[in-house]
Structure 1
Amino acid sequence: SIRQVGDRFNHKYNDPCIFLNDESFSEEFKSYVSEIIPFVGGVSYGLIPASDWNPPEWTDEERAEKAREVLLKVGAIHGGNNYQNMCKVNSGYFYRREFFLLYRYY
Protein backbone atom coordinates (compact mmCIF):
# COMPACT_ATOMS: atom_id res chain seq x y z
CA SER A 1 0.00 0.00 0.00
CA ILE A 2 2.94 2.37 0.50
CA ARG A 3 3.92 1.96 -3.11
CA GLN A 4 0.32 2.46 -4.23
CA VAL A 5 0.07 5.80 -2.43
CA GLY A 6 3.26 6.92 -4.13
CA ASP A 7 2.26 5.63 -7.57
CA ARG A 8 -1.36 6.75 -7.63
CA PHE A 9 -1.39 9.93 -5.59
CA ASN A 10 1.84 11.34 -4.36
CA HIS A 11 3.72 11.37 -7.65
CA LYS A 12 1.57 14.40 -8.52
CA TYR A 13 1.98 16.27 -5.25
CA ASN A 14 5.38 15.24 -3.86
CA ASP A 15 4.25 15.33 -0.25
CA PRO A 16 6.63 13.87 2.32
CA CYS A 17 6.00 10.39 3.65
CA ILE A 18 6.13 10.14 7.44
CA PHE A 19 6.35 6.92 9.43
CA LEU A 20 5.67 6.94 13.16
CA ASN A 21 6.11 4.06 15.58
CA ASP A 22 6.44 3.38 19.28
CA GLU A 23 9.77 1.66 18.59
CA SER A 24 12.67 2.90 16.48
CA PHE A 25 12.65 1.78 12.86
CA SER A 26 15.49 -0.49 11.85
CA GLU A 27 17.99 0.62 9.24
CA GLU A 28 16.89 -2.40 7.19
CA PHE A 29 13.29 -1.12 7.16
CA LYS A 30 14.39 2.39 6.23
CA SER A 31 16.54 1.07 3.40
CA TYR A 32 13.69 -1.09 2.08
CA VAL A 33 11.23 1.80 2.16
CA SER A 34 13.69 4.04 0.32
CA GLU A 35 14.01 1.44 -2.42
CA ILE A 36 10.30 0.84 -3.00
CA ILE A 37 9.02 4.39 -2.73
CA PRO A 38 11.05 7.19 -4.22
CA PHE A 39 9.09 10.01 -2.55
CA VAL A 40 10.36 13.27 -3.97
CA GLY A 41 9.08 15.04 -0.86
CA GLY A 42 11.27 12.85 1.31
CA VAL A 43 10.69 10.16 3.90
CA SER A 44 10.91 10.82 7.64
CA TYR A 45 10.75 8.51 10.63
CA GLY A 46 9.49 9.56 14.03
CA LEU A 47 9.33 7.94 17.43
CA ILE A 48 6.14 8.17 19.47
CA PRO A 49 7.10 8.72 23.11
CA ALA A 50 5.96 6.12 25.62
CA SER A 51 4.04 8.86 27.43
CA ASP A 52 1.83 9.27 24.35
CA TRP A 53 1.68 5.60 23.38
CA ASN A 54 1.00 3.89 26.70
CA PRO A 55 -2.14 4.32 28.80
CA PRO A 56 -1.97 6.99 31.51
CA GLU A 57 -0.58 5.96 34.89
CA TRP A 58 -3.99 6.25 36.54
CA THR A 59 -5.41 3.51 34.29
CA ASP A 60 -6.40 0.30 36.07
CA GLU A 61 -4.25 -1.85 33.79
CA GLU A 62 -5.48 -5.15 35.25
CA ARG A 63 -9.09 -4.21 34.51
CA ALA A 64 -8.16 -2.95 31.04
CA GLU A 65 -6.29 -6.18 30.26
CA LYS A 66 -9.31 -8.27 31.27
CA ALA A 67 -11.52 -6.17 29.01
CA ARG A 68 -9.11 -6.63 26.08
CA GLU A 69 -9.07 -10.40 26.69
CA VAL A 70 -12.88 -10.45 26.48
CA LEU A 71 -12.77 -8.51 23.22
CA LEU A 72 -10.26 -10.94 21.74
CA LYS A 73 -12.24 -13.99 22.93
CA VAL A 74 -15.42 -12.79 21.23
CA GLY A 75 -13.47 -12.10 18.05
CA ALA A 76 -13.66 -8.32 18.17
CA ILE A 77 -11.54 -6.84 15.42
CA HIS A 78 -8.64 -4.84 16.83
CA GLY A 79 -9.39 -5.74 20.42
CA GLY A 80 -5.73 -5.75 21.41
CA ASN A 81 -3.73 -3.14 23.23
CA ASN A 82 -1.54 -1.99 20.32
CA TYR A 83 -4.50 -1.04 18.16
CA GLN A 84 -6.10 0.89 21.00
CA ASN A 85 -2.84 2.71 21.68
CA MET A 86 -2.54 3.61 18.00
CA CYS A 87 -6.09 4.99 17.98
CA LYS A 88 -5.30 7.11 21.02
CA VAL A 89 -2.24 8.56 19.32
CA ASN A 90 -4.08 9.17 16.04
CA SER A 91 -6.98 10.87 17.77
CA GLY A 92 -4.93 13.76 18.95
CA TYR A 93 -1.55 13.22 20.50
CA PHE A 94 0.70 13.10 17.46
CA TYR A 95 0.17 16.66 16.28
CA ARG A 96 1.67 18.01 19.52
CA ARG A 97 5.09 16.61 18.73
CA GLU A 98 7.87 18.90 17.58
CA PHE A 99 8.22 16.59 14.60
CA PHE A 100 4.95 17.91 13.13
CA LEU A 101 5.64 21.59 13.67
CA LEU A 102 7.41 21.47 10.32
CA TYR A 103 4.11 20.88 8.52
CA ARG A 104 1.13 23.09 7.89
CA TYR A 105 -1.22 20.17 7.20
CA TYR A 106 -1.18 16.55 8.22
Structure 2
Amino acid sequence: MQRAIAQSTLEELIEALADAEHKRWSHWQRYLHSKCERQTDGSLLIPADLAARWQRQMDTDYSNLSEAERKSDRDQVRLYLPIVLDALNVVADDPPVESQRDK
Protein backbone atom coordinates (compact mmCIF):
# COMPACT_ATOMS: atom_id res chain seq x y z
CA MET A 1 0.00 0.00 0.00
CA GLN A 2 1.50 3.30 -1.07
CA ARG A 3 1.18 6.45 0.98
CA ALA A 4 1.05 9.95 -0.44
CA ILE A 5 3.67 12.40 0.78
CA ALA A 6 2.96 16.09 1.12
CA GLN A 7 4.94 18.33 -1.21
CA SER A 8 6.27 20.31 1.76
CA THR A 9 7.49 17.09 3.40
CA LEU A 10 9.15 16.04 0.17
CA GLU A 11 10.85 19.42 -0.13
CA GLU A 12 12.09 19.15 3.48
CA LEU A 13 13.49 15.70 2.69
CA ILE A 14 15.22 17.01 -0.43
CA GLU A 15 16.77 19.84 1.60
CA ALA A 16 17.97 17.47 4.33
CA LEU A 17 19.47 15.10 1.77
CA ALA A 18 21.03 18.00 -0.16
CA ASP A 19 22.63 19.23 3.07
CA ALA A 20 24.06 15.76 3.74
CA GLU A 21 25.28 15.53 0.14
CA HIS A 22 26.99 18.91 0.37
CA LYS A 23 28.77 17.85 3.56
CA ARG A 24 29.88 14.60 1.88
CA TRP A 25 31.06 16.45 -1.22
CA SER A 26 32.89 19.11 0.83
CA HIS A 27 34.67 16.41 2.84
CA TRP A 28 35.74 14.70 -0.39
CA GLN A 29 36.95 17.97 -1.92
CA ARG A 30 39.06 18.77 1.17
CA TYR A 31 40.58 15.29 0.94
CA LEU A 32 41.16 15.55 -2.81
CA HIS A 33 42.75 18.99 -2.53
CA SER A 34 45.01 17.75 0.27
CA LYS A 35 46.37 15.03 -2.04
CA CYS A 36 46.98 17.32 -5.01
CA GLU A 37 49.88 19.61 -5.83
CA ARG A 38 48.83 23.24 -6.20
CA GLN A 39 50.24 24.79 -9.36
CA THR A 40 51.43 28.39 -9.68
CA ASP A 41 48.24 29.28 -11.58
CA GLY A 42 46.09 27.93 -8.71
CA SER A 43 45.07 24.71 -10.45
CA LEU A 44 45.57 21.34 -8.80
CA LEU A 45 47.59 18.41 -10.14
CA ILE A 46 46.30 14.99 -9.09
CA PRO A 47 49.16 12.54 -8.55
CA ALA A 48 49.23 9.85 -11.24
CA ASP A 49 48.79 6.96 -8.80
CA LEU A 50 45.65 8.50 -7.31
CA ALA A 51 44.25 9.43 -10.71
CA ALA A 52 44.77 5.83 -11.86
CA ARG A 53 43.19 4.39 -8.69
CA TRP A 54 40.16 6.67 -8.86
CA GLN A 55 39.73 6.01 -12.58
CA ARG A 56 39.75 2.26 -11.89
CA GLN A 57 37.15 2.72 -9.15
CA MET A 58 34.95 4.84 -11.41
CA ASP A 59 35.13 2.17 -14.11
CA THR A 60 34.30 -0.68 -11.72
CA ASP A 61 30.79 -1.83 -10.81
CA TYR A 62 30.11 -1.79 -7.08
CA SER A 63 29.86 -5.58 -6.96
CA ASN A 64 33.40 -5.86 -8.36
CA LEU A 65 35.03 -3.44 -5.92
CA SER A 66 37.23 -4.75 -3.15
CA GLU A 67 35.62 -5.32 0.24
CA ALA A 68 37.40 -2.22 1.59
CA GLU A 69 36.04 -0.11 -1.27
CA ARG A 70 32.51 -1.45 -0.78
CA LYS A 71 32.79 -0.74 2.96
CA SER A 72 33.76 2.84 2.16
CA ASP A 73 30.65 3.21 -0.02
CA ARG A 74 28.47 1.70 2.73
CA ASP A 75 29.96 4.16 5.22
CA GLN A 76 28.85 6.99 2.94
CA VAL A 77 25.31 5.61 2.72
CA ARG A 78 25.17 5.45 6.53
CA LEU A 79 25.42 9.25 6.54
CA TYR A 80 22.12 9.45 4.64
CA LEU A 81 20.30 6.60 6.34
CA PRO A 82 19.07 8.51 9.43
CA ILE A 83 17.50 11.16 7.17
CA VAL A 84 15.71 8.53 5.09
CA LEU A 85 14.54 6.55 8.12
CA ASP A 86 13.25 9.72 9.76
CA ALA A 87 11.35 10.62 6.59
CA LEU A 88 9.79 7.16 6.57
CA ASN A 89 9.01 7.40 10.29
CA VAL A 90 10.97 4.19 10.78
CA VAL A 91 13.37 3.34 13.55
CA ALA A 92 16.18 0.90 12.84
CA ASP A 93 16.34 -2.03 15.26
CA ASP A 94 20.09 -1.56 15.37
CA PRO A 95 21.40 1.91 14.53
CA PRO A 96 23.86 1.93 11.61
CA VAL A 97 27.46 1.46 12.62
CA GLU A 98 29.25 4.77 12.93
CA SER A 99 31.79 5.29 10.17
CA GLN A 100 35.40 6.05 11.00
CA ARG A 101 35.00 9.47 9.38
CA ASP A 102 32.33 10.45 11.93
CA LYS A 103 34.59 9.83 14.92
Pairwise same-fold verdict (TM > 0.5): no
More strand by share: 1
- Structure number having the greater helix percentage: 2
Indicate the structure (1 or 2) with the bigger Cα radius of gyration: 2
**TM-score class, shorter:** 0.3 to 0.5
